[in-house]
Amino acid sequence: MASLHLHEIYKSFGATSVLDGVSLELEAREFVAFLGPSGSGKSTLLRIIAGLETPDSGEVVLDGVRIDTLPPGDRGVAMVFQHYALYPHMTVRENMAFGLRNIGVPKEEIETRVSEAARMLEIEDHLDKKPGQMSGGQRQRVAIGRAIVKHPKLFLLDEPLSNLDAALRTRTRIELAQLRNRVDAAFIMVTHDQAEAMTLADRIVVMNDRTIQQVGPPMEVYSRPANTFVARFVGSPAMTLAPVEMLSAGGRFASVRLGDGSQVDTRIVPNGLAGGPLQLGLRPENVTVSPVGHATTVGKVDLVERLGDRTLVYAHLADGLAITAEDEGYSRVRTGDTVGLRIDGGAAHLFDADGAGHHAEEHAA
């Protein structure tokens, strides 16, 4: 049985629709990330699961029990907010114990749970401190510990790392990855940071325009995006989307022509691609700087971004198409250069008139 089942969740605030028939199943002990831009409905969906918002219609079922009619404290879920929401006048120990005392958990049981959570999060030496005496990363661990002591079936994390600096984000991301292996519960994390989603989640739920756009393992979402929104939202830099003309739909795989006249031979079966405008999708790693004689096309360089192990080259083709390519770390390419660009058509994507993705045939010979 799925740990969590969302069935046809609708939600509006006045005349503004926020969620439009969202359905999803989450397995026990699974870590799922809700990923999407601001206004996509991901935080509202999390708050509906937590009981902080009421759906207009639909059901939320946890371990076979419908919980959308229950008060938040009876749902078996624990939420960690973007802002730590710790009581500044209480010690860490008191903050972690507060919710348990309110529901009448025996004192000895509270002490045991707090000690276990503090050991798990490595904050045992901070139990008698107040939040103001701790770093942002430590305070976030206290907030997570306050959720752990409830022994929930489901953890809900609302942008848990957004208030941390870059170094603390990385460390806390590692700690969250380790924590999910120690806790017998499922996790849902809301984030707009795709690095967090790609690193932590078993599956990513990409949301936009009030609905789920795609659900899948991180690399599946990255390598086989369902539509143009997912293709451009997941991946940094974003995928290049180039208008193309179909050259041959009679062979095994589709061949297309870019706006500058260059031909790209894909590994995509052309079924369902006839008629309507097409876009070719290219990740930066599928376009490499090459000698002009061995290149698919040429481009004029607008910007060179040196990242150490690789160099990103932002260029435009003769028809004005902006395209992102990769070169070696010690690239000699400079802004204003004209360079050859080799396109790996076997890794390319095609998007039809409706924006739906078509991808290279798996294990194509």
pLDDT score recorded for residue 278: 94
In the chain, CATH 3.40.50.300 covers: 4-225
pLDDT beyond 90 at 341: yes
Q: Tell me what the mean pLDDT of segment 176-180 comes to.
A: 79
Per-residue pLDDT band at 364 (split at 50, 70, 90): very low
Q: Helix or strand or coil: residue 223?
A: helix
Q: Tell me what the mean pLDDT of segment 122-136 comes to.
A: 86
pLDDT score recorded for residue 2: 55
Reported as a single tens digit per residue, the pLDDT across 65-87 is 999 999 988 898 988 876 767 88
In the chain, CATH 2.40.50.140 covers: 237-358
CATH of domain 4-225: 3.40.50.300
pTM given for the model: 0.87
pLDDT score recorded for residue 365: 42
Rounded Cα distance between 42 and 266, Å, is 35
CATH architecture of 237-358: Beta Barrel (2.40)
C-alpha 133, offset from chain centre: 33
Q: Helix or strand or coil: residue 10?
A: strand
Q: Name the percent of the chain lying above pLDDT 70.
A: 95
Q: Helix or strand or coil: residue 148?
A: helix
Contact 323, 282 (CB under 8 A): yes
* DSSP conformation letters of 71-112: -GGGSSEEEE-SS----TTS-HHHHHHHHHHHTT--HHHHHH
Q: Tell me what the mean pLDDT of segment 175-195 comes to.
A: 84
Q: Measuring CA to CA, which residue among 7, 8, 10, 32 is closest to residue 19?
A: 10
Query: Which helix H or strand E contains 12, and what residues bound it?
Result: strand 4-13
Q: Tell me what the mean pLDDT of segment 31-46 comes to.
A: 93
Residue 42, exposed/middle/buried by CB under 10 A (0-12, 13-18, 19+)?
Answer: buried
Rounded Cα distance between 21 and 237, Å, is 31
Rg for the chain, CA atoms, rounded:
25
